[in-house]
Amino acid sequence: MKIGICGLGRIGKTLLRKIFENANHNIEVSIIKDLKDPNQTKGDALKNLAYLLQNDSTYGSFPKQISILNDNYLLIGEKKIYCDFSENITDVDWNSFDIDLLVEASGSQENLDKVKACISSKLKNVLITRSSNISSFTLVFGVNEDKLDINKHEIISLSTCTGNAVAPLLKVIDEEFSIKNGFLATIHPVLSSEKSLDSANRLAQLGRASKNVKLLDTAIAKSAIEVLPDLKNKISDQSLSYRIPTDIVSSVYGVLKIEKKTNSKNIISLLKKKLNPKITGVCDGSFEKELVSLDYIKDDRSSILSSFRTIINDDMLSFHLWHDNEYGYCSRIYDALLLLSKK
């Protein structure tokens, strides 16, 4: 299956890394589109892109050697990938590269608004790496992958990193214990758009220096409810995100009121049986209590539940999930590509 990737920010770069770390697939990246500084030549932009892919401050060196060819191509190992630096997603003639699927990873609302125009008789599906009302299906592994129909669902959303982290857990808890109401919060690293010094931003707090802890609204509850509609009006939509000055690995904290009473030992035992361990892990090793965020870097699961921090008090359940907000999420995008390549 030939694909194109629009947007080589943190998600696009990490997805490309995931694809090249694994050899046992039929996914071929034919073209990538990114933006460049207006003052850069295409050759300089390509050199900069190659450099940032080869040397990543979060995940280290790229698994293959990267070079450039004729100021038009990235050479990753022996694989040649065309690079385009057009302004908009519709400026690219995707069909000329004979791709079957496009991954929209730029995060640009302007690109999202135009993505439907990219679909053709050959390019039949677009994966978008965020929640969006333009999608015809929101895919979250561990929740609804069995309901995906590529003939019916042209534009497929992969939800958000936090939606993927929490939805599989909420699904099992609601099925087994019936959630009455609840509240979710995330503790999330800074994003690449945040600056090290104060600067203007449409959201005042996001304009403050990245060394600050910021308390922001977040759509984690909305992302979960999108794939678990029975939880509407049960999970509070007033979710909070504590933006903290770290580079990677996020966590989700939740408090749920459940109808069926249980205890921590029973719920952990049940979750181990019901959750897909490749998607949502349950950490209960001898050192689990002592683990910190960077112990979960480059973990390819959507999230890992801390058994030590899963606490039952009467009908109240509190839990704590860890997840690598880039690598774990990109692993699900990769899984989606594998799934679509077999259909």
Q: pLDDT tens digits for 52-88?
A: 999 999 999 999 999 999 999 999 999 999 999 999 9
Q: Do residues 192 and 59 both lie within one domain? A: no
Q: Do residues 165 and 308 both lie within one domain? A: yes
Picking from 129, 153, 177, the residue at the C-terminal end of a domain is 129
Residue 303 to residue 322: CA distance in whole angstroms:
5
Q: Do residues 53 and 184 both lie within one domain? A: no
Instruction: Assign 160 a pLDDT band (cuts: 50, 70, 90).
Output: very high
Q: Do residues 95 and 207 both lie within one domain? A: no
27 lies in a domain?
Answer: yes
CATH number of the domain where residue 23 is located: 3.40.50.720
Contact of 159 with 224, CB cutoff 8 Å? no
Picking from 111, 129, 147, the residue at the C-terminal end of a domain is 129
Neighbours of 23 (CB within 10 A): 7
303-306 and 79-84 beta bridge pairing? unpaired
The helix/strand/coil state of 203 is coil
Q: Do residues 96 and 34 both lie within one domain? A: yes
Number of domains forming the structure of the chain: 2
pLDDT at 286: 67
Report the Cα–Cα distance between both ends of the chain, in Å, rounded. 10
Neighbours of 22 (CB within 10 A): 13
Would you say residue 110 has pLDDT above 70? yes
137 lies in a domain?
Answer: no
141 lies in a domain?
Answer: no
The helix/strand/coil state of 309 is coil
148 lies in a domain?
Answer: no
Neighbours of 342 (CB within 10 A): 8
Non-local CB neighbours of 248 within 8 Å, separated by 6+ positions: 58, 189, 293, 294, 297, 324, 325, 326
What are the residue ranges of helices labelled H in 231-288? 264-274
For residue 38, CA distances in Å to 10, 192, 285 come to 21, 20, 51
154 lies in a domain?
Answer: no
Would you say residue 343 has pLDDT above 80? no
CATH number of the domain where residue 233 is located: 3.30.360.10
269 lies in a domain?
Answer: yes
Q: Do residues 192 and 282 both lie within one domain? A: yes
Amino acid at the residue 172: V
Q: Do residues 214 and 303 both lie within one domain? A: yes
Residue 20 to residue 9: CA distance in whole angstroms:
17
Q: Do residues 13 and 61 both lie within one domain? A: yes
- Domain span at residue 273 reads 161-325
Q: What is the pLDDT of residues 298-326, one digit of tens each?
A: 999 999 999 999 999 999 999 999 999 99
Average pLDDT over residues 91-108: 95
Q: Do residues 36 and 117 both lie within one domain? A: yes
Contact of 219 with 298, CB cutoff 8 Å? no
Kindly tell me the number of DSSP H helices and DSSP E strands found in the chain: 7, 19
Instruction: Assign 24 a pLDDT band (cuts: 50, 70, 90).
Output: confident
Which pTM does this prediction carry? 0.96
Q: Do residues 89 and 187 both lie within one domain? A: no
Q: What is the pLDDT of residues 229-260, one digit of tens each?
A: 999 999 998 899 999 999 999 999 999 999 99
Picking from 129, 152, 175, the residue at the C-terminal end of a domain is 129
What are the residue ranges of helices labelled H in 22-108? 42-54
250-258 and 280-283 beta bridge pairing? unpaired
149 lies in a domain?
Answer: no
Q: Do residues 168 and 302 both lie within one domain? A: yes
DSSP single-letter state for residue 235: B
Amino acid at the residue 50: A
338 lies in a domain?
Answer: no
Q: Do residues 95 and 174 both lie within one domain? A: no
